[in-house]
Every structure is written in structure tokens, then in C-alpha cells.
């Protein structure tokens, strides 16, 4: 990789948001450079749920068939067992919409597929081991990024007309642009661990008992991911009590796991701690800059919305950037005014999802902090509020629809797509 480069769009971060946007821009013949700080796309314990909204987007991108060839589980009617009694959580089959299931899958294979398909188009470049360190400013406007080539240790300077910060919850791009992440307070953390898929009876299931709340999800390919909510900052105490005590707590909630836990959970090194620290950044666009996915709004794990929000952002950002580039005859940074439509469109939708997540999180917090002291007759209704259980009530149904399809339809604008052989539409 050269030290001084130019392109139309630099996308920072190869997560679901950055990869979907890069594919859409590449397919639209727009010069795009996708930068990832890590050497590989292998990552564990990330968002695993791709709700029907994401499936609709994959269909619009012409990739759904290939996505469904990757290892996955389909979840139609996840259940939660509360003190041994089962309730349906979301019932995807009962919702109005084209898909009666959501996908559970790990991210790496999907990200690789998106990058491979983007690379079918001229003008797209993917570079790993290129951490972005700072933004490049020209005449007070964002005009590219400053990065490091980890292979050589050399500084890299990339000029671009739009920088997209898709670099996740601790976004360097957001920080460099001086944008406040708008964090909310949360009283919970979440511990993830892996189980053999054979140990779980359903693609997705939850168990609640006096010792805690356990959620698990099959991921296809013989593995399931399990989540255990703990009070914020209490992980050191849990570790202090020892792994055997933790295994016992999990087994109390789901006795069926007691045989597999000694192997699946040998020590705390088998766990991954997720700090729940949702937020809504104060602004998502500037001259030459657009933030999306977790960089714009750090997802809470409640309702597994992180992937869907990032993918929907990418779909709207694609149309906004393609239009802005086609209308701007200069070769400088795209002005804020031409990117503002993206934020005007996405912010109200994201805010609505975040509001509902925060309501559910309050009920979940009460359960995790005080649940063991509550009699089952009080814990049950609280849990039914915390998880959008059994869409019998109109409100639960609205929550289920919102989590499955988002607050508004998001459609891939394929009018920008070019033939595979076409040259980039614009270049410097």
C-alpha cells in the first residue's frame, strides 16, 4: 500500500455497517476504500442476530441466497422459561412481513462474503492492518484520514471526498471529529460464553430463575452463544467467587447444562465481558464526514438490534452518498448539507428503537438487581415486560414489529448499481 492515496469514499471499519456500505458503493461504481485495523475478520461475541429487516436488505442487495448458504440458525419463535414455565418471546411467524424468521450467525463469514462481492467491482479496495489514527483536514473540512500501515509501520495519508466512520463503539473517527458519543447510564453488564449446540434445545431460548437470567442462541456449525446479565461492575466479585460457583449458578437456572459446563466453561478466560454502554452521538454528519452503526449510536444488546441498525444506516447512507457525489462537480469534500438527509432520515428511527430498548432495559435491570428477592409472582410480570414476551398485547406486538422490521421500511436504492465491468463513475 502506498503512503499517499486518493479515493472518493474511505470507509473506516469492516463491521456489518462498513461492509454493507462498501459493497453498495462498489456496486454503484464509486471508488471506495475499506480500512480495517485488524489482520483478520475473525471475531467472537459480537451481535449474532440478523432480524427480518436485515434479510430484506440482503435481498435488495441481491445477496440473500448467498447469505443463506453460510452457517446459520433460523429462529422463528424463541422461548423464555421463567421458573420452569415457557413463554414465547417474539413470534416471527405471527408478524406481518415477508420473512417469518430471523438469522442467528457469527459475523466473520458474512463480512468476508460482503468484501468478496464488493471486490468484484473495479474501484473497490480492502486493506486490513490499517488502523486509522486521525482525520485529515483541509481548509477546515474533513478531507481524508491518517492511518498506519501495520505491515510496514509507515504512516499512510488517504484523501477522500467522504470519510465514513463505521469503526464501532469506541470510534476513533468520531473522537477525532470531536463528536460526543452521548452515552446513557446502564446498570448492567453482560457476560458471553460458548456452549456446544447439542446442549441447547432450541435455536434461541432464555431461562430465568433465582440465580439469574441466561439467554442462549445457536449460531449454526455446532456452537451456541450464551449470555448472563450481571450488575454493572460486579465482574471482579463474580471472578472472586470462582468458576465453580458461576457454573453452579448457571446450572441452577438451566440444570440441563450441568454436564457440559465443566468443559465449555473451564475458567473465566472462556467468558467475554460486554459493557453495556449505549449512546446516541450528538451529530452523525459534517463536511466530508458521515458516522454510521455503533460509531453513530452505540447499540444496547437488548433486542439484538445492533446489526440491523448498522445495516439500515448503511443502506440509507449509500443512497445519500451516491446522490451527493453525482451532484457535486468539485473534487473536494462533500459538504454537510448534501449528507444531512442521511441523519434526518435515520435519527428518528434509531431514537425510537433506543427508547424502547431503554424501557425494556429498566425492567431487566430491576430483575437482575432485585429479582432473587422477589417472589415468582412478581418476577414473572417484570420479566414479561423486560423481554417482549408473547405478542398477545398490542404493545408487545408493536415492540416485536419494531424489533423485527424497524420503525420504517428501508429499501436498497439499486438505481445506482452499475454493471460489473463498469468503471468507477467518479474519480479524482
Ligand X SMILES: Cc1cc2nc3c(=O)[nH]c(=O)nc-3n(C[C@H](O)[C@H](O)[C@H](O)COP(=O)(O)OP(=O)(O)OC[C@H]3O[C@@H](n4cnc5c(N)ncnc54)[C@H](O)[C@@H]3O)c2cc1C
38 or 112: whose CB is closer to ligand X?
A: 38
Whichever of 264 and 299 has its CB closer to ligand X, that residue is 299
Q: Which is nearer to ligand X, 165 or 333 (CB)?
A: 165
291 versus 379: smaller Cβ distance to ligand X: 291
Q: Tell me: does residue 144 bind ligand X (CB under 6 A).
A: no
Q: Which stretch binds ligand X (CB under 6 A): 40-48, 206-214, 258-266, 278-286?
A: 40-48
Name every residue whose Cβ is closer than 8 Å to that of residue 208 and which is 6 or more positions away in sequence.
80, 81, 82, 83, 214, 253, 367, 371, 379, 383
Closest approach, Cβ 326 to ligand X, in A, equals 25
345 makes contact with ligand X (CB under 6 A):
no
Q: Is 168 in the site for ligand X (CB under 6 A)?
A: yes
Q: Is residue 131 close enough to count as binding ligand X by CB under 6 A?
A: yes
Query: What is the β-pairing status of strands 49-50 and 9-12?
Result: unpaired
47 binds ligand X (CB under 6 A): yes
Q: Toward ligand X, which CB reaches closer, 245 or 273?
A: 273
- Closer residue to ligand X in complex, CB, 126/208: 126
| H/E run at residue 158 | strand 154-159
* Spatial distance between the Cα atoms of 117 and 18, rounded to a whole number of angstroms: 14
> What track of x and - describes contact with ligand X for positions 290 through 319 (by CB under 6 A)?
---xxx---x-x--x-xx--x---------
Nearer to ligand X by Cβ, of 284 and 379: the residue is 284
* CA nearest neighbour of 52 among 109, 91, 85: 91
> What are the residues whose beta carbons fall under 8 Å from the beta carbon of 284, sequence distance 6 or more?
290, 291, 292, 296, 342, 343, 346, 347
Task: Judge contact between 161 and 331, C-beta under 8 A.
Answer: yes
Contact status: 360 vs ligand X (CB under 6 A) = no
Among 1, 6, 46, 376, binds ligand X (CB under 6 A): 46
Q: Which of 55, 78, 51 is nearest to 387 (CA)?
A: 78
337 exposure class (CB count in 10 Å sphere: 0-12, 13-18, 19+)? exposed
The DSSP H or E segment spanning 103 is strand 102-104
Tell me, by CB under 6 A, how many residues bind ligand X: 31
User: Does the protein bind ligand X through residue 16 (CB under 6 A)?
Assistant: yes
Measure the CA–CA gap between 278 and 273, rounded to whole angstroms.
15
Q: How far apart are CA 52 and CA 352, in angstroms?
A: 18
Does residue 379 belong to the site contacting ligand X (CB under 6 A)?
A: no
| Between 29 and 181, CB nearer to ligand X | 181
Contact flag: residue 29 with ligand X (CB under 6 A): no
Per-residue binding letters, 251-280, with ligand X (x by CB under 6 A): -----------------------x------
Kindly state the smallest distance separating residue 392's Cβ from ligand X, in Å: 25
Interface mask toward ligand X for 196-235; x: CB under 6 A: ----------------------------------------
Q: Which of 7, 8, 9, 17 binds ligand X (CB under 6 A)?
A: 17
> Reduced to 3 DSSP states, what percent helix, strand and coil does the chain have, rounded to the nearest 5?
40, 25, 35
Which CB, 12 or 143, lies closer to ligand X?
12
> Is 36 near ligand X (CB under 6 A)?
yes
Asked whether the beta carbons of 331 and 372 are under 8 A apart, the reply is no
Give per-residue burial for 382-395: e unless 16+ CB within 10 Å, then b. Answer: bbbbbbbbbbeeee
What residue ranges bind ligand X (CB under 6 A)? 12-18, 35-38, 45-47, 131-132, 166-169, 172, 274, 293-295, 299, 301, 304, 306-307, 310
Amino acid at each position: 500500500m502506498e503512503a499517499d492515496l486518493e479515493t472518493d469514499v474511505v470507509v473506516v471499519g469492516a463491521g456489518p455497517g462498513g461492509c454493507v456500505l462498501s459493497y453498495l458503493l462498489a456496486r454503484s461504481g464509486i471508488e471506495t476504500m475499506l480500512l480495517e485495523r485488524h489482520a483478520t475478520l475473525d471475531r467472537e461475541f459480537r451481535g449474532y442476530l440478523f432480524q427480518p429487516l436485515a434479510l430484506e436488505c440482503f435481498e435488495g442487495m441481491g445477496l440473500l441466497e448467498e447469505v443463506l448458504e453460510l452457517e446459520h440458525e433460523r429462529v422463528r419463535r424463541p422461548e423464555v422459561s421463567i421458573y420452569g414455565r415457557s413463554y414465547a418471546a417474539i413470534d416471527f411467524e405471527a408478524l406481518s412481513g415477508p420473512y417469518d424468521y430471523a438469522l442467528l450467525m457469527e459475523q466473520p463469514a458474512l463480512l468476508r462474503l460482503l468484501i468478496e462481492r464488493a471486490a468484484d467491482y473495479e474501484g473497490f479496495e480492502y486493506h486490513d492492518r490499517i488502523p486509522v489514527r486521525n482525520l485529515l483536514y483541509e481548509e477546515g473540512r474533513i478531507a481524508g484520514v491518517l492511518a498506519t500501515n501495520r505491515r510496514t509501520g509507515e504512516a499512510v495519508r488517504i484523501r477522500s471526498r467522504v470519510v465514513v466512520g463505521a469503526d464501532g463503539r469506541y470510534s476513533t473517527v468520531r473522537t477525532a471529529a470531536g463528536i460526543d458519543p452521548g452515552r446513557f447510564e446502564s446498570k448492567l453488564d453482560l457476560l458471553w460464553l460458548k456452549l456446544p449446540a447439542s446442549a441447547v434445545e432450541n435455536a434461541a431460548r432464555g431461562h430465568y430463575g433465582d440465580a439469574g437470567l441466561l439467554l442462549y442462541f445457536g449460531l449454526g456449525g455446532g456452537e451456541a452463544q450464551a449470555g448472563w446479565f450481571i450488575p454493572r461492575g460486579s465482574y471482579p466479585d463474580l471472578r472472586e467467587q470462582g468458576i465453580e460457583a458461576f457454573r453452579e449458578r448457571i446450572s441452577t437456572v438451566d440444570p440441563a447444562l450441568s454436564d457440559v459446563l465443566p468443559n465449555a466453561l473451564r475458567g473465566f478466560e472462556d467468558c467475554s465481558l460486554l459493557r453495556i454502554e449505549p449512546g446516541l452521538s450528538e451529530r452523525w454528519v459534517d463536511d466530508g464526514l458521515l458516522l454510521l452503526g455503533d460509531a453513530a449510536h452505540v447499540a444496547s444488546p437488548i433486542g439484538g438490534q445492533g446489526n440491523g441498525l448498522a445495516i439500515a444506516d448503511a443502506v440509507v447512507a449509500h443512497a445519500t452518498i451516491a446522490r451527493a457525489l453525482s451532484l457535486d462537480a468539485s473534487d473536494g469534500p462533500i459538504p454537510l448539507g448534501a449528507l444531512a438527509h442521511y441523519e434526518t432520515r435515520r435519527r428518528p428511527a434509531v431514537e425510537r428503537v433506543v427508547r424502547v430498548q431503554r424501557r425494556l432495559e429498566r425492567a431487566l435491570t430491576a430483575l437482575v438487581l432485585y429479582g432473587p428477592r422477589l417472589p415468582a409472582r412478581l418476577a414473572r410480570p417484570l420479566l414479561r415486560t423486560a423481554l417482549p414476551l408473547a405478542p398477545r398485547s398490542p404493545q408487545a406486538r408493536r415492540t416485536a414489529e419494531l424489533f423485527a422490521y424497524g420503525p420504517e421500511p428501508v429499501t436498497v436504492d439499486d438505481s445506482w448499481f452499475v454493471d460489473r465491468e463498469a468503471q468507477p463513475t467518479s474519480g479524482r
